[in-house]
Amino acid sequence: MLAYTIGIILFALAILISVSLHEAGHMLTAKAFGMKVTRYFVGFGPTLWSFRKGETEYGVKGIPLGGFVKIVGMTPLEEEEEEVTEKDKKRVFWRKPLWQRTVVLAAGSVTHFILGFVALWILVSFVGVVANPAYAEQVAESQETATVAVAECVAATGTDAAAGDCAEGQIEGPAWTAGIESGDAVTAVAGTAVTDWDSLLAAVSDLTPGEPVEVAVERDGTERTVEVTPYAAEAETEDGGTETVARLGVFVYTDPAVSPTTAVGAIDGVGETVAYTGDMFKETFIALGQLPSKIPPLWDAIFGGERSDDSPVSVVGASRLGGEMVQYDQWAMFFMLLVVLNYFIGIFNLLPLLPMDGGHIAIAWYEKARSWVAAKRGRPDPGRVDYLKLMPLTYAVIVLLGGFMLLTITADIVNPITIFN
């Protein structure tokens, strides 16, 4: 339980640092171009601590859910709110060249891309990542015995409270409790011979949750029999529904010595990281396109329906997954999840919708194109876009995003995704 809690805290802290660096990207590029930056804060709400250096106030606020940077003149409304001296008028954001404004607005997402790329390069170069997501299935098909890995904690149906050192909603894995260890080969379940992973699943599926059975395992050439009490778990049926089945708390064992997680080295790692990044960007765009179709199943999951492994998660859900990864000592997965999250945030933030940075970029280029067309037609420059007219659309996006965030947070609390079940 302690490792799980530490994992949650570490992952949430990593997200906060990532978002803070996002805002720092805006601030540093704005300062580099001579723009006036008046505030940089980590968090929202009441100020806990701050100091002023030059014209910029730096500080920490009470609600650690992000951060913000204040650049004078991001919109006409913001320029009116700030006291801009005649000397500083040339430093207002919108008066700067379009390419500089674009760089500043995109700097937050670029920061996420850099963080993700560096973390991924370290994993690929010096740790190794699984190249094929179906590797576990391939191992299961190639095993001549049912060699298993053992989960210390499992998500059991009907479990409300934590058991032992497990997280809420989990119990200690029956196989782990019985003394079965990762790398053991199961040879029989309740008198039924087991020869491979498929026969193990078939034998376990015939069991009744809560009724102890004898399980024969082989370790280092020695066979012994232990008593295991299966637990009740949810499993997906072929028609897309769910059913309650018996499980032992084991999964496919992948020997680290032969697992395809070989580090490729610093030089080769660059090319591999670029290839991985391309695949991740592609999958992110596909996921964004499928997002509306994920909302009804997410709603059903809140009211007892099955929570699919590919359903959207909030910061709460991602942190819980990070906690499980630390609990099971899966640090490579922990950092890979951070890579995926940084890439997703970076891409999502560039969508051409207010209040995202991509919306501000789109407006800046629209203003430029509109001025160019007006000049070609010999007409006066129409000037800047009226942000007040865009406020209803902006509020609509905020409401939709807020509703979606609330939906995912609720689902992550009442029906969370788990790694090992």
Close Cβ partners of 184 (under 8 Å, ≥ 6 residues apart)? 147, 148, 150, 217, 218, 219
For residue 181 the two structure tokens come to 């260890």
- Residue 92 to residue 80: CA distance in whole angstroms: 11
Beta-carbon contacts of residue 72 (< 8 Å; ≥ 6 apart):
35, 36, 37, 38, 78, 79, 82, 84, 88, 91, 92, 93
Tokens of 125: 């170069």
Residues 94 and 77: beta-carbon distance below 8 Å: no
State how far Cα 76 lies from the chain centre. 35
Taking the C-alpha atoms of residue 322 and residue 343, their distance in angstroms, rounded to an integer, is 17
CA atoms within 13 A on the CB side of 169: 15
23 tagged catalytic: yes
Q: How far apart are CA 225 and CA 186, in angstroms?
A: 10
Tokens encoding 234 = 């949810």
Burial of 239: CB neighbours in 10 Å, binned 0-12, 13-18, 19+: exposed
Catalytic one among 23, 152, 272, 324?
23
The DSSP H or E segment spanning 97 is: none
- Give me the residue label for tokens 């640092």: 17
3-state helix, strand, coil in the chain (%, to 5): 50, 20, 30
d(CA 344, CA 337): 10
At residue 270, what is the residue type?
V
Give catalytic residue positions. 23
